[in-house]
Structures are given as C-alpha cells and as structure tokens.
Amino acid sequence: MHIHCSLNQLYLLAALAISGCVTTPQPQTSTTILPDAAQSASTSDTKVLNVQPLPTVEIKASSLAALTTIAQQPVENTIDDGVWSRIRAGYGIPAVDATHYRRELDWYRQRQSFLSRASKRAQPYLHHLMAEIEKRGMPAELALLPVVESAFQPFAYSSGRASGIWQFIPATGKHYGLRQNWWYDGRRDIEESTRAALDYLSKLHKEFNGDWLLAVAAYNCGEGNVHRALRRYKGNAQSPDFWQIRKLLPRETRGYVPRLLAIAAVVSEPAHYGLKLGPIADEGYFQRVELDGQIDLALAANLAKISLDEIYRLNPGFNRWATDPDGPHRLLLPVEKVAEFQTALAAYPRDQRVNWRRHRIRSGETLGGIAHKYRTTATVLRQANRLRGNFIRAGRNLLIPVARKSLQSYKQSAERRRQRSIKSPRSGKREIYQVRKGDSLWSIARRKNLRISQISAWNGLNRGDPIRPGLRLTLWQTATPALNGVSAPTAGAERTGLTRQKLHYTVRRGDSLWRISNRFKVSIASLKSWNRLSGKHRLQPGQRIKLFVDVTRSGDNG
C-alpha cells in the first residue's frame, strides 16, 4: 500500500519552498488512507492515521527538483513474503468497489483455518502458476482462481464431474487437450491443467473484448450463459459489464466472481483483515523429469527417496499404481531430488520398472474377466500381449502388469480414493445396490429417481466408467418426495451445492429426446414428464421444451 501521508508532507514542503518562505504549518489532525484498489473504496475499510505537525525546516532551491521527483514516486511495500508479494505486484484486473464483494470478504475473514489449509496445499504449485501467467502477460489474480475452484485440492471432484485444481469437466478438458483414461486424467495434471486453464481463460478474455470479469464468469458457467445474459440486458450501457448482467447469470456465477475479488483483496493485505497467509517461497518447488516408459509409482518414490504420497501430490494425474503405459512418460519431482532420481533410474533395468505376472488362461475365462481380477483393463492386456481383439485361448499365458506393493499402499490412487468416498457419511438413508447384467449408471439413476452425477460422486466414478455385474454401489436416498416423477432438488443437493434452474430449449434439426437428455444431463422420463409428451411423440425443429437442470459450483465450464 502506498503511504499517502508522507507524500502529502513532501508536496507541502515543496510548495512552501516555491513560495519563498518556510514556516511551521498548522497541525493536520488526520489523513485518510484508503485501502488498495483491490480491496475497497468503502468507508468501512478506511484507515485513519494521525499526523504530527511538521517541524520548521529550510529547503534550498537547488534541492527542490530532487524533492519534487521523490514526492511523485510511490512508496513501495518493502515486506517480502515470497510468492504472495509476486502475486500482488502482478495484479491487473481493474479496481472494484468492495461493496460488490463484501459478503464474500466477510466469509474469508471468518475462516483463517480455510486459508491456512489452502496456502499449505498451494505451496508446491503456486510458483509454477505465477510463472505461466507472467509468460502470457495475464493478471496475477488468476493464480488465485484455484482457491475459489478447489481450495488447491488436486483430487477435488465435484458432483458436476469437475476435477483437479482448475475443476475441468470431462468435455471441456478434452476440448483443451487433456487426455482422460483408466490410467491417467490430464484434468488433474498440474502442468497440463494449468496450460489448458490459461488457454481457456485467454480465449474467453478475447471473446469478451478484454473484460476479465466476464471471462472469469464464463469460465465458471460457460460462455453461452454469459452471451445470453448480455443479450437479455435491457440497460443503457453499450458494453455492459459483469455487475450490470450479474442478476441474469446463474446463481453460482453471481458469487463466483466476487469470491475471486475477495480472495485477491485478502492476499493484497491480509493483516488488514486480521488474517495470515502461509509462507510460500518464490522459487520452483518441482521439476519435470522425462522417462522412457512406464514406471511403478512406488518404485519412483523409492528411487527419489520421497514418500509415495508426495509422488501423488506432484503427479495427481495418474489414477493407478503406475504411470500410463501410453504416456505421458514424465514425472514431477522436488527440485532437490531430481539429480539423485535420475542417477538411480539410469542404473535400474528398464524391464523391471513394472512387475509382471504370468497368468495361464483357463477354460471359460474372458479377457475382461481376467482384467477385472487383476484390477486392470482389457485394453492394457491387449497392449501388453500384442492381441488384436478379445479372443484368448485356454492353455496359453498372458502377461499381467501388477503393482510392486499392495494396492492399499497407493493411498491416492483412484481405487483407494473411491473407497474413501464410498465410506464418507452423507445425508439420507444409505442403500447398497449390486449391479445386474444390462445395468448402466443411467438406468440405475432412472430406476432409483437419482441423478447420474450423484451416483458417480458417491462412488468415486466418472460418468463414462464401465460398471460390471456384481459391482456394489452406494446410494443415498432422502425422504424428499418426487416432483412429477423426478426427484425434487435433490438427494444430496444441500451437500453438493446444487441449485435447480428452469430453462427453455428450442429443438434443432436432428434433435431427439435422447440427445437432449444427454446434453443437459437429465433423464428422458423427466423430459417427457415436464413437457407432457407421450411415448410416441416426435420432436419438431423450432418446438420449445421446458427443462429443469441442476447448476453446480463448477457450472458448465470445467
């Protein structure tokens, strides 16, 4: 923060020197110092500093020029608290009156423990985020967006299927080049997801004519929602901003942008709000190490002499006990461990970096069944054994990749996280459902009057994950009655932050009930019920139908 009172004093001295007579000025009772632009112009946040009368001084004319130059220069904040100072110095979003985000600011003020946890989680990642943002000339406030999205939890997963610190949903992640398969999810890869998030934000910034707040809003709810709000705006402004269309946006987005501005204000001057930020050094925490193939993560941790949990914390994109056999063939490791790891890896035989087991095929076994037994996939077995299809012959052997340690040791693998998610207590009555032949997440959700996103979240599944007969799913049912055959908002809505929003959709050429239900993540039965459609009804282009969709914290962006 600039110290305006000292500047006022210097200006006063300069003016007196010009007048040719220097006298003791009248006492100035107080000088009002406003917080930085990122905080507020609100009087409730102003500070008052008492200034003592200036002593009589003599100023030579020869010193006047130098004095005037000093008076015109801002006084820099000399406090250096690592990467937080770097972030403050890079703020670039125009100032906003704190009355717009007072409620969100009050929320942070009361949650020192939340900020402490978020700071601790951000420690390995924040320097990298700032480096990438600076390369692109983007405002440093964007480095704080993961606080709003995920509190910097690399394994954060929302009911809307958003994942990672930047909370990409599957479709948006794929659009921005984030691979997602059984072994690996690029939405959680720290380097790749950061690249994709900044690509997306840059695109949105350009799309909304350089307005960062509209770009951030679109990141949350999707650019379509923001464009619709702009079209519906009835005010006088030729180029309406976020605050003018705020009420026309989804409820979650109305608070999303203020939350970013509020955390930026807190980082700008935490002591002013009675808060502390955990120290984070302004230096790289990790370094990328290129590999030449798949490696067991437990072996990698052993070679680097770090814990397996640290391997997962820096490489949360890997779902299983090993890196993806198809790549990316790389690991992020603490900077100080890289040289030692590379030396140890070079001495370790390449064919021993993943353990293999020989399985003799028995009569009646299938490739999928064998894969399920060893907790892998048919695709992996086909690749490992150079099979063109799923045909296997009894009496022959298959090579099976297996973990070096017990699967319980890989605590941050997708399977172990899924087990913890299943055991987490929820609201409502718990039900265990055993998957039958022909079941899908969609059919189970329809039968149980639930949403696919709920079942996925409760069981640590992605929407596209296969479910096999015999799999036991945990379901939670509330006593809330159904509305027109569709559950009211909703079993788990209070927990996940779901809000129901009514939409009207104009049918396009080629649309069907199935396609619309898939696009908006609602059931066909719901569409029929909401619009009183019969089983044989065919949709016509131009027809308007009614939908009720759940808007989650992650919106439609990712």
Residue 149 has a pLDDT of 95
State mean pLDDT over 448-469: 78
Q: Are 496 and 158 in contact (CB under 8 A)?
A: yes
Residue 549 has pLDDT above 60, yes or no: yes
pLDDT digits (tens, 9 = 90+) for 309-350: 999 999 999 999 999 988 899 999 999 999 999 999 999 998
pTM: 0.68
Q: Quote the distance between the C-alpha of residue 499 and its chain's center.
A: 19
490 in the same domain as 389: no
The answer to whether residue 108 sits within a structural domain is yes
405 in the same domain as 539: no
547 in the same domain as 482: yes
Number of domains in the chain: 5
Q: Which of 52, 72, 92 is the last residue of a domain?
A: 72
475 in the same domain as 557: yes
528 in the same domain as 429: yes
Provide DSSP, 279-344.
Answer: -B-SS--EEEEE-SS--BHHHHHHHHTS-HHHHHHH-TTB-SSB--TTS--EEEEEGGGHHHHHHH
Residue type, 249: L
User: Of 305-319, 392-406, 490-504, which gets the smallest average pLDDT?
Assistant: 490-504
The answer to whether residue 198 sits within a structural domain is yes
Could you tell me which residue, 525 or 371, shows the higher pLDDT? 371
Distance CA 298, CA 354 (A): 10
Q: Is 310 a catalytic residue?
A: no
Residue 420 has pLDDT above 90, yes or no: no
334 in the same domain as 461: no
507 in the same domain as 439: yes
Residue 76 has pLDDT above 80, yes or no: no
Q: Considering the chain, what percentage of its residues have pLDDT values greater than 90?
A: 49
Residue 36 has pLDDT above 50, yes or no: no
pLDDT digits (tens, 9 = 90+) for 177-227: 999 988 999 999 999 999 999 999 999 999 999 999 999 999 999 999 999
Provide DSSP, 482-526.
Answer: EETTEE-S-TTHHHHT-EEEEEEEE--TT--HHHHHHHHT--HHH
Which tokens hold the place of 506?
């104009």
The answer to whether residue 78 sits within a structural domain is no
**Which residues span the domain enclosing 497?**
425-558
465 pLDDT tier (thresholds 50, 70, 90): low
Residues constituting the chain: 558
Q: Are 195 and 236 in contact (CB under 8 A)?
A: no
293 in the same domain as 211: no
401 in the same domain as 433: no
Residue 363 has a pLDDT of 92
Q: In 3D, which of 253, 258, 255, 210 has the Cα closest to residue 229?
A: 253
User: Of 247-251, 298-302, 400-404, which gets the smallest average pLDDT?
Assistant: 400-404
Distance CA 476, CA 259 (A): 31
Catalytic annotation, pick one of 149, 191, 192, 223: 149
The answer to whether residue 59 sits within a structural domain is yes
If DSSP codes are grouped into helix, strand and coil, which group holds residue 72? Answer: helix
Distance CA 87, CA 456 (A): 37
Q: Are 361 and 395 in contact (CB under 8 A)?
A: yes
Residue 415 has a pLDDT of 81
243 CB neighbour count, 10 Å cutoff = 13
Which tokens hold the place of 530?
């909401």
Residue 167 has pLDDT above 60, yes or no: yes
Distance CA 286, CA 127 (A): 10
Residue 506 has a pLDDT of 80
The answer to whether residue 280 sits within a structural domain is no
Distance CA 522, CA 538 (A): 18
pLDDT digits (tens, 9 = 90+) for 41-56: 333 332 333 333 333 3
Q: Which of 273, 294, 323 is the last residue of a domain?
A: 273
301 pLDDT tier (thresholds 50, 70, 90): very high
159 in the same domain as 35: no
Which tokens hold the place of 466?
């296969």
Residue 501 has a pLDDT of 61
26 pLDDT tier (thresholds 50, 70, 90): very low
CATH number at residue 234: 1.10.530.10
pLDDT digits (tens, 9 = 90+) for 470-485: 888 999 887 543 333 3
For residue 28, give the DSSP letter.
Answer: -
The answer to whether residue 240 sits within a structural domain is yes
